[in-house]
Amino acid sequence: MAKNFDPLPHLKLIMVALIFSTNFIVGKTLVEFPPLFIGTVRFSVAGLFFIPILFFSKTRLPKGRIWIKIIVMGLTGVAIFNPLVYWGLHYTSSINATLINSFNPMTIAFLGYFLLKEKLTRSSLLGLLISFLGIAFIVGRGSLLDLLKLQFNIGDLLVFSSTFIWGFYTVLIRNVSNVLKPMQSTSLAVMAGLIFMIPGSLVESIWQPIPHITLGAGLSLLYLGIFPSVVAFLFWNTGVSKVGPIQASAYYNLIPVFNVLLASYILNEKLLSYHIVGGMFIIMGIVITSIGQYKTQMRNRVIQPHSKTL
């Protein structure tokens, strides 16, 4: 069984968590900009990378009903999810957003179970729960009771809604992985998402004018366009297509861990004991979930050949 284990998808999913952890930090510095404008610029930059890749690789465009799924992927993962997060950050704190965003793995797991019939094992559920407790421990600064003191608002509802949108997008990745390579699905989804975002951004600018873009804001938008939109999206799509949405979702819980580490390194914030304890719980949960899903996948591979001969 160990011979069949490929560490590369798991390393890519860890990189996704690292890059996505910076999305909240950089996104918070752009709160004066309209959400759809941020998303449009961000994925337009990404498009400048994907279009030449598709062209020079001579990738054949898919045919048939698969386009419906590509369009829905663009609508959910690109056009709706990111503006919802940026819009939510207008009204809520990064602490609240981090806690609410931690529901993402559970949302992905349950959507994968109901829509793709992916087996949700007890160990997977246990691992997701342990990781969630680790996040709650970090957000609550070492006291889970302090979470009861958090105040929630419309921004929290927007961020919470985004978890279902991202979950649906992730399930679609797995659904199209038998037809499209990750590079194809990522590139085409970004292009499809821009079709929705560009006119939406123009309408949005009527009631929310675009402020002057400073050098710092321009660099932030460029960063979002290259790393979260190209590298992270491509790595996420590759990881999900290889290990499935449930196992991939567990790595999403590393985002607050990387947030803390980046804050301590870049902003010189103190790394406290509850950060370490919470991080250990999160990593423990990821290991339990990954082992459980890996064993299930191996059992299915053993059973499948025999079932064909019956």
Q: Examine the pLDDT at 104 and tell me if it is beyond 60.
A: yes
Mean of pLDDT values over 282-306 = 69
Mean of pLDDT values over 214-220 = 94
Residue 51: both structure tokens together: 């279009």
Evaluated on CA atoms 156, 204, 68, 177, the torsion sign reads negative
Q: Examine the pLDDT at 300 and tell me if it is beyond 70.
A: no
Q: Examine the pLDDT at 309 and tell me if it is beyond 70.
A: no
Q: Count how many domains the chain has.
A: 1
The answer to whether the pTM exceeds 0.95 is no
Is the separation of the CB atoms in 134 and 278 below 8 Å? yes
pLDDT digits (tens, 9 = 90+) for 164-204: 999 999 999 988 888 888 888 899 999 999 999 999 999 99
pLDDT digits (tens, 9 = 90+) for 197-210: 999 999 999 988 99
Q: What average pLDDT is seen over the chain?
A: 83
Query: Residue 58, by phi and psi: left (phi above 0), alpha (psi -120 to 50) or beta?
Result: left
Expressed as residue numbers, the domain containing 283 is 2-309
In this structure, how many other beta carbons lie within 10 angstroms of the beta carbon of residue 180?
22
Q: Examine the pLDDT at 308 and tell me if it is beyond 70.
A: no
CA distances from 116 to 24, 207, 222, 299 (A): 30, 41, 35, 18
Q: Which of 30-34, 44-48, 51-55, 91-95 is most confident?
A: 44-48
Residue bearing tokens 């996420």: 236
Q: Among 8-17, 68-77, 254-263, whose mean pLDDT is lowest? A: 254-263
Residues contacting residue 127 through CB under 8 Å, at least 6 positions apart? 250, 284, 285, 286, 287, 288, 289, 290, 292
Q: pLDDT-based confidence at 95, cuts 50/70/90? A: low
